[in-house]
Amino acid sequence: MKDRVVCYFSAAQSEQPIIYRLVKNYDLIFNILKADINPQKEGYLVVELEGNRESYQEGIAFLRSLGVVVEPLSETVVWQEDICIQCGACASFCPTQALDIDRDSMQVSFDNSRCVVCGMCLDCCPTRAIQLHFDLREAAV
Amino acid sequence: MGYEKTYEEINEKIRKGEAVVVTAEEIMDVVGEIGYEKAVRQVDVVTTGTFGPMCSSGAFLNFGHSRPRIKMKRVHLNGVEAYTGIAAVDAYIGAAQLPATDPENKVYPGRFSYGGSHVIHDLVAGKEIRLEAEAYGTDCYPNKKVDTVITLGDLNEAILFNPRNAYQNYNCAVNLGDRTLYTYMGILKPNLGNASYSTAGQLSPLLNDPYYKTIGVGTRIFLGGGIGYVAWNGTQHHPNVLRGENGVPMTPAGTLAVIGDLKQMDPDWLVGLSYIGYGATMAVGIGIPIPILNEEILRYTMVRDEDIFCPIVDFFEGYPYSKPIDLGYANVRDLKSGKITVNGKEVVTTPQSSYPRARKIAALLKEWIRSGRFELTRPVAALPSADANIEFKSIPERSPNGMNGRNRRDS
C-alpha cells in the first residue's frame, strides 16, 4: 500500500534516526515531500510511504510508539487570484468544474468545495497561479 | 463620398475632452441602437485589446559602464543569457531565453519555471536582478568581469522591442495522436481530448482593422501597460491569405513589431509564462485605438466572435511535420462557449489568451483617450496589406559542402 502522511516530531524525537529505522526494519519505500526538522526543535515531515500492508501498518505503529504524531496528509489546491491572468487554460482540465469559466465574462473562478485535489490544473497554468499546499498544524508551520 | 473625419479632428476633440470613445465590444450595441450613419458621426475612436502569450518579445537594455569600462561578451540576468552582439554595454533579453542550468525537457515534460520573460517581468516590477557580465578586455574596455545587482531604475534605457506580436487570427490546436502533447498551445490531450485556441476574438486589434487601414508604422498603442508604438510589420507578416467577406483572414495573417519604453510599463501587463514541456514565453498586453474616419472603418470594427474562424490544426503530425490535414475551422463564438465539434466529435476548448484582460485593456485605453492622456497618431507608412505579394518562406535545404570560410574576409 501507499499513502501520504504527516509526522510531527517533538524536539527530542528529531534527534533520532527514525527514517533509517523505518527503512531498515520495515522495508518501506519513502519519498519526502516536505520537511522542516531542526535539532532541538519541533518539526514535521510530509512523506509518502510505500510497502506491503503489514509492514506499512507496523511502521506507522512504530512511529506512534516513539510518540511521533502521524496523521493522514490533507492537501489543498490554492488558486492565487492575484497571480492568475484569467486565461482560462485550467478550466477544461478540471474534472469537477471547481475551476470554471463564466461564459459571458470569460472570468475564471475557483470553488474550493468542489476541488478533489487531482492536481490536473497545476501543470496547465502558465503563470503557476495554482499551487498544491499541504495542510499542516499551525504549530508546525 | 460619405462622411469623413480626420485624425486632427479626433485629436482636437480628445484635447477638449469631448471625444466619444467606445470599446470594440461596446460599438456593436451603439451601432445596433443608432445605426451606421449616426454612429460614424458620433463615435470617434474604438479601442481594442489583447493579452496573450507572445514569444517573439524582448527588451534592449543599456547598463551604463563599469569602472573601468567593459565590452560585454556574455551577459546573464538572474542566470538568463542576454544577447550582446551589439555595442559594449547594450544587450537584448529575449522572452523565451532559458538559463543554461534549465533541465529543459531532459525530464519530460520540463517545467521552464524561469526565463527571459520572467526577468523582464521582474525588472518591470522593480525587483533586484543579478547582472553578470564577462569580457575579453580591450585597450578601450579593459574590464573583464562584472557581477552586481541592478534594478530597472539603474539602466540608462530599457526598450521593449517585440518583433512579432498581436497575430491576426491564430490556429486552433488539437491532438489526433494517442499521447499527451506539451506545446506552445498548452497541453493537448490525446485523441482530440481538447482544442486550444489563442485569440481575443472580437476585441483583437488586427481583426478590427483587417486591412490595416488605420494601424501602420508609427501608430501609438497601449503596450505592456505603458505607451508604445507600432515599429513595423511583425516577422512572418503574411497579409495575402484567404479572407472572409468581412476581410477577416481565415488563417494566421498580419503581425506587428512593437516598441516602447519599458520603464513606464507595468508588471500586470507583461507577465512571464511557463509552458510545461515547451518553454518560457510572455503574456503581452496590447491595445490599439481605431479612429473612426469613415463608415468603412466603422464596419470593420463591428466584427463579432461568430464572424471569426480559426483553422483547426493537428499538433501530433500536422503542425510539427507540416502535413496538410484538413480539420476545418472553429468559430470563435463556439470556442468561447467551451465546446466545438471536430471530425463529428464534441471537443472541450482551452483558451490561452485572456479575454477578461483583453477587455480590461480596451477599457483602460478608452479611459486614457477620454481623459486626454493619449492622442491618436496617423501612421507614417502603411503595412503591406491583402494586395501584397508576400511569399511565406521556409528554410531552404541546400548542401553546405564547400562553403567553409567562403564568406569570411580572412579566407
Q: Specify the residue for cell string 496590447.
A: B286
User: In this predicted structure, what is the pLDDT of residue B288?
Assistant: 99
In the predicted model, what is the mean pLDDT of chain A? 88
User: Mapping DSSP to helix (H, G, I), strand (E, B) and coil, where does residue B335 land?
Assistant: helix
Question: How far apart are alpha carbons B274 and B184 in whole angstroms?
Answer: 10
Question: How far apart are alpha carbons B158 and B84 in whole angstroms?
Answer: 14
**B162: contact with A, CB 8 A cutoff:** no
Alpha-helical regions (H) of B187-331: 205-208, 295-300
Residues B235 and B163: beta-carbon distance below 8 Å: yes
Query: Where would I find the beta strands (DSSP E) of A26-73?
Result: 29-36, 43-50, 69-72
User: In this predicted structure, what is the pLDDT of residue B402?
Assistant: 78
For residue B158, what are the contacts with CB-CB under 8 A and spacing of at least 6?
B59, B60, B61, B62, B123, B152, B261, B262, B263
Q: Give the CA angle between residues B101, B105, B110 to the nearest 5°.
A: 85
Contact residues, chain A, for B273 at CB < 8 Å: 126-127
CB-side exposure of A44: number of CA atoms within 13 Å?
19
ipTM: 0.94
Tens place of pLDDT for every residue, chain B, 411 residues? Answer: 689 999 999 999 999 999 999 999 999 999 999 999 999 999 999 999 999 999 999 999 999 999 999 999 999 999 999 999 999 999 999 999 999 999 999 999 999 999 999 999 999 999 999 999 999 999 999 999 999 999 999 999 999 999 999 999 999 999 999 999 999 999 999 999 999 999 999 999 999 999 999 999 999 999 999 999 999 999 999 999 999 999 999 999 999 999 999 999 999 999 999 999 999 999 999 999 999 999 999 999 999 999 999 999 999 999 999 999 999 999 999 999 999 999 999 999 999 999 999 999 999 999 999 999 999 999 999 999 999 999 999 999 999 887 776 666 665
Residues A9 and A20: beta-carbon distance below 8 Å: no
Cell reading at B358? 483583453
Nearest to B350 among A86, A92, A105 (CB): A92
**B117: contact with A, CB 8 A cutoff:** no
Question: Chain A window 1-40: which residues touch B at a Cβ cutoff of 8 Å?
Answer: none
Pairing of strands B186-188, B289-291: unpaired
**A102: contact with B, CB 8 A cutoff:** no
User: In this predicted structure, what is the pLDDT of residue B355?
Assistant: 98
Q: Is the pLDDT of residue A92 over 70?
A: yes
User: Mapping DSSP to helix (H, G, I), strand (E, B) and coil, where does residue A30 land?
Assistant: strand
Q: Is the pLDDT of residue A15 over 80?
A: no
Q: Which residue, among B279, B54, B64, B76, has the nearest Cα to B161 in the 3D structure?
A: B54
Question: How far apart are alpha carbons B301 and A50 in whole angstroms?
Answer: 61
Question: How far apart are alpha carbons A137 and A121 in whole angstroms?
Answer: 25
Q: Which residue, among B251, B220, B217, has the nearest Cα to B233 in the 3D structure?
A: B217
Indicate which residues of B carry an active-site annotation.
140
* Cross-chain residue pair A89–B352, CB shorter than 8 Å: yes
Contact residues, chain B, for A86 at CB < 8 Å: 354-357
Cell reading at B97? 531565453
Amino acid type, B386: A
Q: Which residue, among B155, B145, B195, B161, has the nearest Cα to B175 in the 3D structure?
A: B195
B381 pairs with which residues across the strands?
A: B217
* Category of A92 on φ-ψ map: left (φ > 0), alpha (ψ -120 to 50) or beta: alpha
Q: How confident is the model at residue A131 (pLDDT cuts 50, 70, 90)?
A: very high
| Residue of chain B whose Cα is closest to the Cα of A86 | B354
Q: Which residue, among B175, B181, B173, B182, has the nearest Cα to B276 in the 3D structure?
A: B182
| Torsion sign across C-alpha atoms B204, B208, B213, B219 | negative
From the CA of A49, how many Å to the nearest CA of chain B? 23
* Cross-chain residue pair B337–A107, CB shorter than 8 Å: no
The pLDDT tens digits for A38-67 are 777 788 888 888 899 999 999 999 999 988
For residue A132, what are the contacts with CB-CB under 8 A and spacing of at least 6?
A75, A76, A77, A78, A117, A119, A122
Q: Specify the residue for cell string 503574411.
A: B238
For residue B153, what are the contacts with CB-CB under 8 A and spacing of at least 6?
B126, B263
| Helix or strand (DSSP H, E) at A57 | helix A53-65
Question: How far apart are alpha carbons B369 and B22 in whole angstroms?
Answer: 10
User: Mapping DSSP to helix (H, G, I), strand (E, B) and coil, where does residue B295 land?
Assistant: helix
Q: Which residue, among B86, B62, B54, B70, has the nearest Cα to B170 in the 3D structure?
A: B54
From the CA of A82, how many Å to the nearest CA of chain B? 10
**B112: contact with A, CB 8 A cutoff:** no
User: In this predicted structure, what is the pLDDT of residue B405?
Assistant: 65
Cell reading at B146? 562584472
Residues B169 and B308: beta-carbon distance below 8 Å: yes
**A82: contact with B, CB 8 A cutoff:** no
First to last CA, chain B: 64
**What would the DSSP string read from start to end of B54-104?**
-SS-EEEEE----SS-B--SEEEETTEEEB-SSSTTEEEEETT---TT--T
User: In this predicted structure, what is the pLDDT of residue A141?
Assistant: 45
| Residue of chain B whose Cα is closest to the Cα of A92 | B350
Q: Which residue, among A8, A18, A6, has the nearest Cα to A71 in the 3D structure?
A: A6
